[in-house]
Amino acid sequence: MFHKEGYTIIVASLAISAISIVLIDKYIVFPWSSKLMMITILVLLGLILQFFRNPKRHTVLNNNQIIAPVDGKVVVIEEVVENEYFKDKRRQISIFMSPLNVHVTRYPISGKVTFSKYHPGKYLVAWHPKSSTENERTTIVVTNKYVGEILYRQVAGALARRIVNYAIKGEEIIQGTDAGFIKFGSRVDIFVPLDMKITVKLDQVSRGGETVIAELA
């Protein structure tokens, strides 16, 4: 199953790959050279297909828990001052996605979208400390009557050149459902209240829509 954001690229890649293989088979006379070129094309096609995969996830709905919005590795767990929306101290959890990870973004909790804003910016590597405030990004706040307000931020990386955000202000959303897509390496920052219990550790690998990253103490 593939994400809808990849349909155009996948169809184009399949067409280009098929045409390229036919031309190689017809015009390249050295067998070892033609085989190498065909294998290279198929490997590149495989990378594109795996990047846009959209595996089904089994989200256990829970208004007291925050789930990981993306697949990746937890690279930051720290108390910070969130200056864009809250302007106070929050606990930040950041998940880094390599180009090999699933890049679907899922809503970390059910509730109502109360803030959604796009910011143009730089393309620093996603693990750079300033990427959260200087890179291209979107900021989304979901209000849940049990937990309060949760902010998550899609951050573009050095390779990412397009962030897709489906969150619309005023919309009621369901935990674990499709919230967007980030094309190529990037990260997502989640800001939760200080009194929540963090249930992941640094360098832990998360599964979007399934891994619980924080819960009410």
Looking at residue 2, what is its pLDDT? 80
CA pair distance 205, 211, nearest whole angstrom: 9
Mark whether 83 and 187 lie in a shared domain: yes
Q: Which of 177, 155, 182 is nearest to 75 (CA)?
A: 155
| Residue 152 contacts residue 84 (beta carbons within 8 Å) | no
Determine, yes or no, domain membership for 197. Answer: yes
What residues are labeled active site? 186
Q: 43 is in which domain, residue-wise? A: 4-51
Q: What pTM value is reported for the model?
A: 0.84
| Residue 110 contacts residue 173 (beta carbons within 8 Å) | yes
Looking at residue 79, what is its pLDDT? 96
| Residue 92 contacts residue 86 (beta carbons within 8 Å) | no
Q: Which of 106, 192, 191, 111 is nearest to 144 (CA)?
A: 111
Mark whether 87 and 140 lie in a shared domain: yes
Mark whether 153 and 116 lie in a shared domain: yes
Looking at residue 132, what is its pLDDT? 64
Spans of the chain below 50 pLDDT: none
- The C-alpha angle with vertex 74 and arms to 71 and 75, in degrees rounded to 5, equals 130
Looking at residue 186, what is its pLDDT? 81
Mark whether 188 and 144 lie in a shared domain: yes
Looking at residue 73, what is its pLDDT? 95
Mark whether 127 and 72 lie in a shared domain: yes
Q: Look up the CATH number of the domain holding residue 105.
A: 2.70.70
Mark whether 12 and 38 lie in a shared domain: yes
Which residues, in sequence order, are CB contacts of 68 under 8 Å at separation 6+?
95, 108, 200, 206, 207, 208, 209, 210, 211, 212, 213
Looking at residue 131, what is its pLDDT? 57
For residue 78, the cross-strand partners are 92
Work out the widest C-alpha separation in the chain, in whole angstroms. Answer: 68
Determine, yes or no, domain membership for 69. Answer: yes
Return the amino acid letter for 161.
R
Number of domains in the chain: 2
Determine, yes or no, domain membership for 167. Answer: yes
pLDDT in tens, 151-161: 999 988 656 55
Mark whether 101 and 170 lie in a shared domain: yes
